[in-house]
Amino acid sequence: MSTTPELEAPVAARLSTLDRFLPAWILAAMALGLVAGRLIPGLGAALDTIAIQSISLPIALGLLIMMYPVLAKVRYDRLDTVTGDRRLLVSSLVLNWVFGPALMFALAWLLLPDLPEYRTGLIIVGLARCIAMVIIWNDLACGDREAAAVLVALNSVFQLIAFAALGWFYLDLLPGWLGLPQTALDVSPWEIALNVLIFLGIPLAAGYLTRRFGERAKGREWYETRLLPRIGPFALYGLLFTIVILFALQGDAILGQPLDVARIALPLLAYFAIMWAGSYALGRAIGLNYERTTTLAFTAAGNNFELAIAVAIATFGVTSGQALAGVVGPLIEVPVLVALVYVSLAARRRWHGGTPTTATPAAKES
């Protein structure tokens, strides 16, 4: 197989500074948030007051900035090729709404049998399927953007329908059948709907309208070669901003209870590893290509931490163990899924016969 000089160049040499040191920037953002939340008196409380219906506006702003460029890159005229792929859609639904919650339930009871508050918090995390940050992980790993948009929208619909019912099943009904302690979960459908509207509806509408009017005014070539490269880096800026704010909000709780955080981290690490690897293996087994296999794996492994934290706080209180378990979720998820992005990119090179990717993770265009 012949390659161009560009393909033969080391991949790292073709990455921007932001892309090349992305793990370092993310770890620095996490550290900055934790230290700021711990050392600046009242910072977490002040940030927490900027909210609508328990939705943190600073976090919402960061997620919107993060998701908008990625959703502006989606070619919406190609979505029909995704909706016609029943293998992908059925696999995603089963992984997200059958296997994922069941796996988190089993891990929480297996590894936290003596810590009921943390156990309940983790089960809530398992019920909140990702509709926001998974967009950026998928794009960084060069997954299928159109497939990610469809699967995230599908998760949103099922989240509206199934979240409260699954909460009742895994926290009340199933434990009762098994002779285990039961917990009630009081969650408002409006709270779930507001979460979906803010974290998916707004950036999805903005991305769609940007592409529609941008292509109509200047054409697709201008849109994809001139406009998208300008707005693309804001996805990572939004990600780093979100991480700083998230950990600033909860820095005191995380640093103040390190042993509890370690206990909560164990089932989370197992969960992300099993969900991602199992989904990736399933994608290969049913014949999906690299891009859709990657999208399937990340949409199954990610969780909607904002919804999980909001539900835990609304039901059990801001200082509860359930809320702390929700907070630890992104503490573990962010570095683990960043690492899995690089695992995916390595798999992509093997998948395509050892040819390295020519696009940076953040700026890749299909």
* 35 CB neighbour count, 10 Å cutoff: 14
Residues contacting residue 59 through CB under 8 Å, at least 6 positions apart? 242, 245, 246, 249, 306
| 214, pLDDT greater than 90 | yes
Structure tokens at 31: 């550290």
Percent share of the chain, pLDDT over 90: 31
Mean pLDDT of the region 10-35:
70
Structure tokens at 126: 């398992």
Domain-wise residue ranges, the chain: 13-351
Q: Which residue has the higher pLDDT, 347 or 21?
A: 347
Please tell me the distance from the alpha carbon of residue 331 to that of residue 195, in angstroms, as a whole number. 20
The candidate with the shortest Cα–Cα distance to 323, out of 299, 307, 338, is 307
Rounded to the nearest integer, the mean pLDDT of the chain is 82
Mean pLDDT of the region 174-188:
84
Structure tokens at 94: 């089963």
Name the band, by pLDDT with cuts 50, 70 and 90, for residue 14.
very low
Instruction: Spell out the CATH class of 13-351.
Output: mainly alpha
At 55 the three-state DSSP class reads strand
Report if pTM > 0.85: no
| 154, pLDDT greater than 80 | yes
Please tell me the distance from the alpha carbon of residue 159 to that of residue 163, in angstroms, as a whole number. 5
Contact 33, 240 (CB under 8 A): no
| 71, pLDDT greater than 80 | yes
Residues contacting residue 277 through CB under 8 Å, at least 6 positions apart? 297
Least confident of 36-50, 65-79, 99-113, 228-242: 36-50
Please tell me the distance from the alpha carbon of residue 240 to that of residue 157, in angstroms, as a whole number. 28
| 116, pLDDT greater than 50 | yes
> Residue 60: beta bridge partners?
none
Q: Which residue has the higher pLDDT, 159 or 351?
A: 159
> What interhelical angle do 290-301 and 86-94 show, nearest 10?
20
Where helices occur in 128-257 by DSSP H, the ranges are 134-140, 145-168, 174-177, 189-196, 202-218, 220-222, 228-231, 234-256
Cα angle 274, 275, 279 (rounded to 5 degrees) comes to 115
pLDDT in tens, 290-349: 999 999 999 999 888 877 877 887 778 766 888 888 878 887 888 898 899 989 988 888
